[in-house]
Amino acid sequence: MHTLSDGSPLSKEQLWNRDAAVSRLGGNEGLLNRIVDMFLAQIEQKRELLKQAVTDSDLEAVRFNSHSMKGVAGDVGADAIRGKAATIELKAKQNNVNELHEDMEELEALIEQTIQVMRA
């Protein structure tokens, strides 16, 4: 499980802030459920596109795909994914490739954990 800098595991709420997502949607649970379904249907493809861009050191594709992932994660309240995608996007904008592979590994772990929380 992905952990905070002090070594403690992320909580379900840190992975998926469902309450904030419902609030942003005006309390519409049905709409949130549809958006979560779309997120779950898209996230694997977005992960693969970003992973390939990182592997290829294609910084423009890394920037584009991390920005896209940041947006869809924000839509559903997947705060940990959104934060890591934002970090990757910033590093790509700064032409900082040194830590992208490590960041991508962390993002993949966050995606898996978030999917588990959403499906629970």
pTM of the model: 0.91
Do residues 14 and 70 touch, judged by C-beta distance below 8 A? Answer: no
Express each pLDDT in 16-60 by its tens digit: 999 999 999 999 999 999 999 999 999 999 999 999 999 999 999
**Torsion over CA of 103, 89, 49 and 37, rounded to 10 degrees?**
90
Do residues 114 and 15 touch, judged by C-beta distance below 8 A? Answer: yes
Express each pLDDT in 48-86 by its tens digit: 999 999 999 999 999 999 999 999 999 999 999 999 999
| Secondary structure (3-state) at 3 | strand
Domains of the chain: 16-119 (1.20.120.160)
CA distance 102 to 45: 19
